[in-house]
Structure 1
Amino acid sequence: MKIVIYDGANTIGGSKIHVEECNNGLFLDFGMNFAKYSLYYEEFMSERTARGIYDLWHLNLLPKLNIYRRDLIPRDLVNEVTRYPKVPANAVLISHAHLDHVGNVALLDENISIVGSPTTIAILKALNDTSGGGSHFGMEIPYYKVKKNKDSEGYILEADKKSHYPSRKVILSEAISSFHDFLFYRPGQESPKAKKIIPSDVKSLNDEDLGFEIKAFSVDHSIYGATAYIIEGDVSLAYTGDFRLHGKSGNETRKFIREAKNASILITEGTRTGREEHENVSEQEVYENALKIVEEAKGLVIGDFSARNFERLESFKEIAEKTERELIVTAKDAYFLHALKMVEGVDRLKGLRIYGNFKASQQKWEELVVWSNYAEYYISPFEIRKNQEDYILCFSFYDMPHLLDVMPNGGTYIYSSSEAFGEEQEFSFLRLWNWLQYFGFEVHGFRINGYGKPIFEKGLHASGHISREELRGIIDEVNPDYIIPVHTENPMWFRNNWGEKAVVLRNGESWEV
């Protein structure tokens, strides 16, 4: 078995791992490396989609391989790309729906199947539906817009407005037949002239031969649907993806750990190995701490947590019920919860309200899915304004302008998400602080110091990643022959703890066993 870490060897995110044996190959994730992207791009400056993968290729933001969609390669890049190897790739195994693990999958050759849990695929489909085109291609999963040459030289690419949307072959970790209608439905395609999604095959891992025996295991993470994999070839390999023990589904992670004891190779994340941490906040502690704040809160409460952190959303829903308030989510949140319902059959929107913001028109996904199915859930900002003490509003920094319609008279703001990880994010927190001060909010979770820098409080956010000490215990429990660290800024921690058993690779390096 040959393993190549193409990206993510010494950064948190950007995981791109290739496993090859007997002319069969798999990618384990194929994510965006935000650390590398940030060297060249920022929020309002991204790759030029009219040039396909040209910018990403020349800035070394993609592995130099001949594995990308033909329609994304402009004519002046074709000869260069074809000089590079075309490694075997029967499929890409997606661990979860965070872009640092899946954000470059849409660039891969369209014949490469995607493997993931039904929940992960549903979230990715909802991301695509609601992206509105986006500034890069990362959202185009599982369906995508075909690109064609706009000019005769083939330098400029544009979406083919006449072509329907092809979709990739989808391989689910478990079979769910009722999911197909949602997977191949694009809101608005009812019109005879509208472009439609061209259905592809949907199989389950048990029904598909990918050259390896593959077992998928649900694990606990800060997004639903997270999956770890065990791959059986001549040797057995276990891949954790991102995982933890301190969420509500920690027992699922334990099941994977028990199975991983038979693996010879463990490829594991090490997000928190470079951090000196003396406490490991659990999701239960976050719930309890936030509940105490809301119980004492006067006026409107705003809960700010990461997009698609549905476990945290459900915690705030429970807090709302206990404090006799109603939880209000955005229309986009509602669409994602609808997508989860299509997979799991659980109506997580029941008992929630949907914020009806003032805008000129609704996009098709909101008009035809959210409004059509949940119109009675909508609540206007004026209604919130009249009875502010009755609600918890799920808003983040980018929703702040809508507060000018609600006009809060003070209130409580709970920041329940990750800390800033760059200078631009620090500026965003300063702007957020200005909004909150304007409306007179009592702020929990962070504050701005005298130098204009955000200072974060503990206890209102639980990491999506396993703590360093728990990871040490898991590796000792699994006791693999070899450990390959990824998704970490401190790969040498593994060498220091397990000596030669730790195979520390740099990006692009290969290792065979």
Structure 2
Amino acid sequence: MSVKLSFFTGGGVDGIGGNKILLESHGTALFLDFGKSFGEENKYFDEFLKPRSLNGLGDLLAFDLIPPLPGIYREDLVIPTQNWWEKVFSHPAFRDLTIQGVLLSHAHLDHSGYISLLSPDIPVYTSLPSALISKAIQDCGISDFLSEIVYSKRKEILEDGLICSDKNYSNPSQQRPYHVFTHQLLPESVRYFWNQAPGKRPLSPVSLIPILEEKVTIGNLPVRFWSVDHSIPGAGAFGINTPEGWVLYSGDLRMSGKQAKDTQRFTQEAGTLQLLLLIIEGTRASLNTNRGTKHFTEQDVADRISQIIKKAKGLVIADFGPRNLERLISVLKATEEVNRQLVITTRDAYLLEVLSQCGEVDLPNPLSYPHIRVYSEKRVRTSEWESTLLERCRTQYLTAEEVTFHPDDFVFCFSYYDFSELIDINPSGGVYIYSATEAFNEEMQLDAVKLKNWIDHFNFQLFGNPFAQENTDSYDPLHVGGHAQPDELLNIIETIHPRYLLPVHTECFEFFEKHFGTRKDIQLIRPKAGESVVLP
């Protein structure tokens, strides 16, 4: 027997994000994540030039953005007359395949985004928070064939061979089976949320299936889940117990957050296993690391945000990554210390409400918490999920007029994409706290320039710098990322001490070559798109 691992273009190989790694052993096939590669997709598409829903899988297959595996995808996204599979038949990775599931490490789209393309009967195994976040994102987002991670609208093939969504709103969306790792029975409010349709179209519900002991058997393989620290709740690592030994997949993890003990537990317990292979992320791997450089933690960020808000005059805006709820709680605590109120968007309120009820994450319910207000953007037509939410939070509802008259009472959780609301609020000065990742590509640089123009227009004092790189003299500790530092990666690898080491989700494979390229006890493997590795 052997373990076979297959890798695909934009699948976490020689780049950051888009993880989709196929593991096959003992008659069982599992994908480790099935994410969208923003880097690969942005080579051909952008905000205004997107893969066409009317062409189903066609545009993505044409640019090798998804694995050429006919047996894993939704039938309603395949146009029979297009002969796509014949066109990619010569691809080295092409074959018909049946898989038993997807192990989803967390709910960031570069790990989950292409699940929407998979056959709706393929189960997803993940944490309870990751499942709930995925549904909340879909409920609140734009409906298209690339966003249907939890449930999907059936597509129709028209006479001209194009695909369109079923226009009969009485036909239900089909929900995908999710098996969720959790420490308790599912609360009724969570079950209701999961099976509740966000709009007019009903759901054909598939209940969440709880896994209570962090262990489950999928096909012929026992699988283990560990919670790890990351910049989004519910992140986890997986262990697959193959006949040849354990294969571990780290997902994304760090040691700098307030749940660092979870990563430490994973590392220590993994080190006791008969380990064949460690697949580890290397987002922050670098050869330019300066020894002795201070590693900031989430607590350092929380302390700095509190310091700024205590001295602030006028309206305060805190800008941080979407669904970074640990950062949101840090801002909330700083807001309470000065008797201000935290203002969140309806999207954030929708997510916070269900996560506060799931019993897995320590979060306040925004609809009953006195220091939280909910701001609703101006809309000609409000979505059904948002109308229902606003009806439930009448006492927390906040208007632009109230903010205009009392700007010193509030701290807004806004990002660049919420800036149009500032025109109605019309603040005259205040503080803008930039607590998100710095620009690392040309598109983000352009967005950072526009962000700075808005900040200057409304005379905000800027703390943090969207152009700054960490560990430079200008770096203000207002953000830490969701990934382990280079020295932390080395510590994790040495503690776990696998026979084989396979880095993914990295742009610096040379870091791993430097430290493990000549080692005999830990053999380094460099994955390549379109190829497979067979162990042992």
Normalising by structure 1, what TM-score?
0.93
Structure 2 CA distance for partners of 1:61 and 1:498, relative to 1, 3 Å: same
Offset, 1:201: 4.8
Structure 1 distance, partners of 2:238, 2:216, is 16
1:304 maps to: 319
Following superposition, the deviation at residue 145 of structure 1 comes to 1.0
**RMSD between aligned alpha carbons?**
1.9
Q: Which amino acid aligns with 1:187?
A: P
Task: Confirm or deny that 1:421 pairs with 2:440.
Answer: yes
1:261-308, CA deviations, whole angstroms, 9 ceiling, x for partnerless residues? 112211000001136343322100111111111111111110000111
The structure 2 residue matched to 1:91, chosen from 97, 101, 106, is 101
Where structure 2 has 5 or more consecutive residues not aligned to the other structure, the ranges are none
- The CA distance in 1 between the partners of 2:283 and 2:147, in whole Å, is 24
* Equivalences for residues 134-283 of structure 1 within 5 A: 134=144, 137-150=145-158, 152-162=159-169, 163-174=171-182, 176-178=185-187, 179-188=190-199, 194-205=200-211, 206=215, 209-234=218-243, 235-261=245-271, 262=273, 263-274=275-286, 276-277=288-289, 278-283=293-298
Aligned partner of residue 392 in structure 1, secondary structure: strand
Query: 1:147, 1:159 within 8 Å by CA — same for their partners in 2?
Result: yes
Aligned-pair distance for 1:183?
A: 0.8
Report 1:94-493 matches (<5 A).
94-134=104-144, 137-150=145-158, 152-162=159-169, 163-174=171-182, 176-178=185-187, 179-188=190-199, 194-205=200-211, 206=215, 209-234=218-243, 235-261=245-271, 262=273, 263-274=275-286, 276-277=288-289, 278-344=293-359, 346-349=363-366, 350=369, 351-368=371-388, 370-446=389-465, 457-493=475-511
CA contact (8 A) 2:132 2:194 kept: yes
Asked whether the equivalents of residues 438 and 466 of structure 2 are also in contact (C-alpha less than 8 Å), the reply is no
CA separation of 1:201/1:318 partners in 2, compared to 1, >3 Å: closer, same or farther? closer
In structure 2, relative to structure 1, the CA distance for the partners of 1:338 and 1:170 (3 Å cut) is: same
Is the alpha carbon distance of 1:208 and 1:232 closer, same or farther for their aligned partners in structure 2, counting shifts above 3 Å?
closer
Task: Give, in whole Å, the separation in 2 of the partners of 1:464 and 1:268.
Answer: 14
- Does structure 1 residue 74 correspond to structure 2 residue 72? no
Maintained 8 Å contact 2:113/2:149: no
Listed one character per residue, the Cα deviations across residues 199-222 of structure 1 (whole Å, up to 9, x for unaligned) are: 225323456543211111111000
Distance in 2 separating the partners of 1:464 and 1:405: 34
1:187-208 CA-to-partner distances (Å, cap 9, x unmatched) read 34xxxxx421112253234565
The whole-number CA distance in structure 1 between the counterparts of 2:126 and 2:104 is 5
Looking at structure 1, the residues matched to 240 and 352 of structure 2 have their Cα atoms a distance apart, in angstroms, of 31
Find the residue that maps to 2:418 and give its secondary structure: helix
* Distance across 2 between alignment mates of 1:186 and 1:81: 38
Q: Give the counterpart letter for 1:354 in structure 2.
A: V
3-state secondary structure, aligned to 1:215: strand
Q: Which amino acid aligns with 2:7?
A: I
| Local SS of the residue matching 1:166 | strand
Instruction: Give the TM-score, by structure 2 length.
Output: 0.89
Task: Assess, with a 3 A threshold, how the Cα gap between structure 1 residues 466 and 348 changes in structure 2: closer, same or farther.
Answer: farther
Which stretch of structure 1 is more off in the superposition, 96-105 or 486-495? Answer: 486-495
SS of structure 1 residue aligned to 2:124: strand
Aligned residues, how many?
A: 499
SS of the equivalent of 1:427 reads helix
Structure 1 alignment gaps of length 5 or more: 189-193, 450-454
